[in-house]
Structure 1
Amino acid sequence: MLIIPAENAVNWKRPPWVTLGLMLTCILVFLFYQAGDSRKLEQAVGIYLDSGLALLEGPAYEDYLQRKIRFEGEDERVFELQRFQKLRAEDENSWLAVSLLMDREFYQYLLQNRDVIWAPAERVRWLEQRTIIEETYIQRLSAQKLGLIPAKLSLYTLVTYQFLHGSWGHIIGNLVFLFLLGFTVEKALGPGRFLLAYLVCGALSGVVFTVFSLGSYIPLVGASGSISGLMGMYVAIYGLQKIRFFYFLGVYFNYFRAPALAILPVWLGKEIYDYWFAGATGVAYMAHAGGLLAGAGLVWLLGKSWLQVREEFFEPEEDEQDDRFTTGYAQAMASLGRMDFDLAKRQFEALREHYPDRPILLEHLYNLAKLRPDLPEYLSRTRELMNDTLSRRQPEKMIAAWQEYLSKGESYHPLAAEDHNRVLFTSLKQHDLKAAEKAFERLRSADDPLLTIEACRLLAEEFEKLQIAPKARHYRQLLQAD
């Protein structure tokens, strides 16, 4: 059974660069760094067979597997024993050598028991030749150098193992999930925090794997733990919100909606169940479980501080916003067409709450308020429109709204001195002296001496610049009178 979240679509106008960079890094490491592994292993197999070590180790390996099955209860290794016996019977020497060389637990078993397994002469020959192969080839394989080996844990391998993969199937599967989860979490956290959280989840996943595999020499490679961390972060970000999930069961697949956090125990339970009952499949189930808990835990612990989700994350994408706006706007305009002004007003107000940057909505609300100039709403909408047009550098519209209010609403609810003063300044900048003088007269009647004196001075200076002496003299006289 497979369950993955499918709530979001990729916004290619703002690509998830860190997610794509992580994917590219994994591919480059696999193609160029790990590409040398096959050559090193081929050389190691050739020397191993030429030295006759397969004849020494073969019987010991069969005995080793039988001990694991009989005395340590590792029943799943019966299949390894059967496969090994089949390779020996069919003289598949190369595959036999690969099995013996790459079983790192078996190599440790030989080192610890060589005095019992072989006579002195055979023991010396084995140690000498096997050490050369180990140091020259096996220890230089990517998984041995940069993979996470619980028995030899180091800080740098907690990071480097996340970029190594065992096969094309392994890397393709991981990169698909990395993309499906990564672009959403990167959008939620931002590139820098997303990258750090991804690496931390991978490291914590490796620590959990190490705890459950103490003393093991089998290297862990792959981004699965980090990706499990992304899954944990994904559901923790959405919390109890219902989101869409895709599921695949056998040949059947479909979508369902559920609270995001409800899926976390399902995922976690599956990994723990597989760890105990799936046997030796080569899948690091506890690393996955550790990643899930690490990702969810990071968001819960640091979600109100360092790992806080961006405010705009839950907002619809631009295309979706445009579609919603178009639909809502059409409904409001239809109400206007039916002259249902109260409904239209409520619809435009609801739209403006979600789309405050759409000036057309304020203009409609202003026009609706203008139908009742005796109500205070007309005054408030006029001020809003004046402020909005001024901020959008539309001074002509600002002056026009002011003049219209003077003719319709001023007798009911007068504008304040500050409103007239702003119009005066704007008119002077636009060289609209007629409007400026009109604003000055309204300002004088608003009874604000300080603003009136400053406005009078500005008008006097402006007329002096334009060499209109009578007007300049008039405003100078007003200044002296005040």
Structure 2
Amino acid sequence: MLIIPAEKAVDWKRPPWATLTLMLLCFLVFVFYQGEDRQKLQNAVDAYLDADLQRLEAPVYEDYLQRRIRFDGEQDRVQELQDFRSLQEQNAEEWVAVTLMMDRPFYQYLRDNQDVLWAPRDQAYWQQHREEIEQDFISRLSARQMGLVPADIKLYTLISYQFLHGGWGHIIGNLIFLFLLGFTVEKALGPGRFLLSYLLCGALSGLVFAAVSAGSGTPLVGASGSISGLMGMYVAIYGLQKIRFFYFLGVYFNYFRAPALAMLPVWLGKEIYDYWFAGATGVAYMAHVGGLAAGAALVWAFGRSWLQVQETFFEPEEDVIDNRFATSYGQAMASLGRMEFKLAEKQFQALREHYPDRPILLEHLYQLAKLRPDLPAYRERARELMNETQSRQQTERMTEVWREYLSKGESFQPLDAEDHNRVLFASLKRQDLSLAEKAFERLRATGNTLLADEACRLLIQEFEKLQMEPKARHYRQLQGG
């Protein structure tokens, strides 16, 4: 059974850079650093077989497994025993060597009981050659150097183990889940706090695993504890809000909605159940438990301080916004169609308050205000639209609104000098001197001598550039007049 949250969609306009960086680091570490493990392991196998250590260890290993099955009740190891015997029957010496070398609890068992397992001569031989293989090869494997070993915890391994993986299947699965959960939590917290909380969840997850596996020499590797932390943070961020979850059962999958926090005990219960009853799968279930608990606890403890969710996180997704806009816009247009202009104006105004970046709404409000050019509202809408179109560098539309207002509303509510000056500047920029002169005349009529003198100066410069001396002389006469 697989259940993962799927409430948010990726916004590629603002990529989750911290999440993508973590994924890239895991991949690079796996390919370039851990890629050397294969040769190191092969060298260890060659040395093991050259020393003929399987002659001493293989019989002990069978007895070791039988004891674990019979006296410790580890029935899941029956299959391990059968597989090991099958390897021996097939003379798969290299796989036998790998099995014996990499079973760390078995190696510890040999060290603790070597004096009763073999005669003194065989014991000395085993100790000499096995120790050489451990020091020269096994200890240099990435998992031994940078993995989290419960029996020998080093501070740096609480971080480094999160970037190691046990194989292609392991890393691909973790990277998929890291992306699916990471981009949402990163969007909620911001890249810096996301990265810090991700590493902290991984460290706490590792400590829980080490506490449960105290004394174990088997290293923990992988990002699954950190990713479980993201899952715990994800549901804690949403709290009791109903969000969408994806689930997969065998060959069937679908979505359902539920309060986010309702899934936390489900996930915790599943991991604890698997820890006790799933057998030796190689999955660090208690690391997952630690990560889930750590992630949720961090949000609950610090969600009002350094882990506070960004305000923009809970804004609706673009497709939801578009659907809402389309519905309300359709209602306003329907009011226009019925000639209910007052109602339509209220609806467009309400839309504009919620969607100020939609220029079409101001256009509609301008057209409605134009129905009564004698009222001040027409002047205000015209000035708003002129300002809006200028900011969007739509100067043709700006001058069109200006001309239209001069013919319909100027006699009722004159425009300010700044409005005419805006048109003059835009006209000069487009080399439309005829329109610039018209704007100057309107500007001069407002009585604002400061702006009029500056406009005169600009017109003189333009006409001088074009060697139109009569025009330049005309504006020199007007300047300061």
* TM class by smaller structure: 0.7 to 0.9
Distance 1:126 1:255, change over 3 A: same
Conserved? CA contact 2:420–2:439, under 8 Å:
no
Amino acid at match of 2:480: R
CA RMSD of aligned residues (A): 3.8
- The AA in structure 2 aligned to 1:454 is L
CA contact (8 A) 1:148 1:206 kept: yes
Does residue 461 of the first structure (1) align with residue 457 of the second (2)? yes
SS at match of 1:35: helix
Worse overlay, 148-157 or 309-318:
309-318
1:368 aligns with 2:364: no
Which residue in the other structure is 1:336 paired with? 336
Question: What CA deviation, in whole Å up to 9, does each residue of 1:170-206 have, x standing for no partner?
Answer: 3343233233323434454555554444333322321
Matched, 1:61 2:64: yes
Summarize deviations over 1:223-256 as a string: whole Å, max 9, x none. 2112212212332343443221112335543211
Matched, 1:80 2:77: yes
Q: Distance in 2 between matches of 1:339 and 1:30?
A: 72
Q: State the one-letter code of the partner of 2:38.
A: A
User: Residue deviations 1:234-280, cap 9 Å, x none?
Assistant: 32343443221112335543211123233223222322343344444
Contact 2:8 2:184 in 1 (8 A): yes
> In the alignment, which of 437, 441, 462 is matched to residue 437 of structure 1?
441
Amino acid at match of 2:154: S
- Residue 437 of structure 1 and its aligned partner are, at CA, apart by 1.8
Check if 1:33 corresponds to 2:29.
no
Find the counterpart in structure 2 of residue 215 from structure 1: 215
User: Aligned partners of 1:425, 1:394: CA distance in 2, in Å?
Assistant: 13
Match of 2:401 in 1: 401
Shift of 1:101: 2.6
**Structure 2 equivalent of residue 268 of structure 1:** 268
* Structure 1 residue identity aligned to 2:101: L
State the AA in 2 paired with 1:155. Answer: L
Check the 8 A contact 1:244/1:257 in 2, yes or no: yes
- The 3 A distance-change label for structure 1 pair 417 and 240 is farther
Offset at residue 111 of structure 1 (A)? 2.4
Which amino acid counterpart does residue 226 of structure 2 have in structure 1? Answer: S
**Other structure's SS at 2:255 match:** strand
Per-residue deviation, 1:314: 4.8
Q: Give the 3 Å change call, closer, same or farther, for CA 244–460 of structure 1 in structure 2.
A: closer
CA, structure 1 residues 225+33, in 2 after alignment: closer, same or farther (shift >3 Å)?
farther
Secondary structure of the corresponding residue to residue 4 of structure 2: strand
Q: CA deviation at 1:41?
A: 5.2
SS of the equivalent of 2:480 reads: helix
Q: Distance in 2 between matches of 1:280 and 1:202?
A: 22
C-alpha contact (below 8 Å) 1:463/1:471 kept by paired residues? yes
Percent of pairs identical after alignment? 61
Report the 3-state secondary structure (helix = DSSP H, G, I; strand = E; otherwise coil) of the residue aligned with 1:476: coil
Where does residue 449 of structure 1 map in the other structure?
none
Distance change (3 Å), C-alpha of 1:211 and 1:136: same
What is aligned with 2:381? Answer: 381
**CA drift at 1:387:** 1.7
Farther-moved stretch of structure 1 (182-191 vs 80-89): 80-89
The reply to whether residue 138 of structure 1 matches residue 138 of structure 2 is yes
- Structure 1 stretch 414-423 or stretch 392-401: which is displaced more? 414-423
**CA displacement at 1:31 relative to structure 2:** 7.5
Give the Cα–Cα distance (whole angstroms) in 1 for the partners of residues 28 and 307 of structure 2: 24
Report if the CA contact (8 A) 2:30-2:164 is conserved.
no
Q: Kindly tell me the number of residue pairs found equivalent between the two proteins.
A: 463
Structure 1 residues 56 and 455, CA gap change in structure 2 (3 angstroms): closer
TM-score (norm 2): 0.80
Distance 1:56 1:128, change over 3 A: farther
User: Which runs of 5 or more residues in structure 2 are unaligned?
Assistant: 464-469
Provide the rounded CA distance (Å) in 2 between the counterparts of 1:168 and 1:474: 82
CA contact (8 A) 2:34 2:142 kept: no
1:24 and 2:20 matched? no
Change in Cα spacing, 1:132 to 1:419, as seen in structure 2 (3 Å) is same
Residues 379-388 or 41-50, more deviating: 41-50
Find the counterpart in structure 2 of residue 111 from structure 1. Answer: 111
**Which of 4-13 and 299-308 deviates more?**
299-308
Note the C-alpha offset of 1:418: 5.1
Q: 1:19, 1:182 within 8 Å by CA — same for their partners in 2?
A: no
Which residue number corresponds to residue 256 of structure 1?
256
Worse-matched range after superposition: 103-112 or 308-317: 308-317
Deviations along 1:327-357, one digit per CA (max 9) or x if unpaired, are: 6545544443332323433443344344423
Q: Aligned partners of 1:12, 1:219: CA distance in 2, in Å? A: 37
* Structure 2 counterpart SS, 1:339: coil
Q: Is the 8 A contact 2:345 2:365 kept in 1?
A: yes
Q: What's the TM-score, normalizing by structure 1?
A: 0.80
User: C-alpha displacement at 1:134, in angstroms?
Assistant: 1.9
Contact 1:228 1:289 in 2 (8 A): yes
Q: Supply the distance in 2 between the matched residues of 1:198 and 1:113 (Cα, whole angstroms).
A: 41
Query: Measured at CA, do residues 338 and 33 of structure 1 come closer, stay the same or move farther in structure 2, by a change above 3 Å?
Result: farther
Deviates most, 401-410 or 279-288:
401-410
Q: 1:366 to 1:82 in 2, by over 3 A?
A: closer
SS class of match (1:52) = helix
Measure, in 1, the Cα distance between the counterparts of 2:421 and 2:330: 38
Residues 1:43 and 2:18 are matched in the alignment: no
User: Equivalent residue for 1:177?
Assistant: 177
Q: Which amino acid aligns with 2:45?
A: E
Question: CA separation of 1:308/1:125 partners in 2, compared to 1, >3 Å: closer, same or farther?
Answer: same
Instruction: Give the 3 Å change call, closer, same or farther, for CA 91–348 of structure 1 in structure 2.
Output: same
Counterpart CA distance in 1 for 2:61 and 2:253 is 46
Distance 1:79 1:163, change over 3 A: same
What SS does the aligned partner of 2:123 have? helix
Distance 1:88 1:20 in 2: 40
Can you list the C-alpha shifts for 1:92-133, whole angstroms capped at 9, x where unaligned?
474655444323223223323434544433432332222123
Residue 47 of structure 1 and its aligned partner are, at CA, apart by 3.7
Provide closer, same or farther for how the CA distance between residues 440 and 394 of structure 1 changes in structure 2, counting only shifts above 3 A. Answer: farther
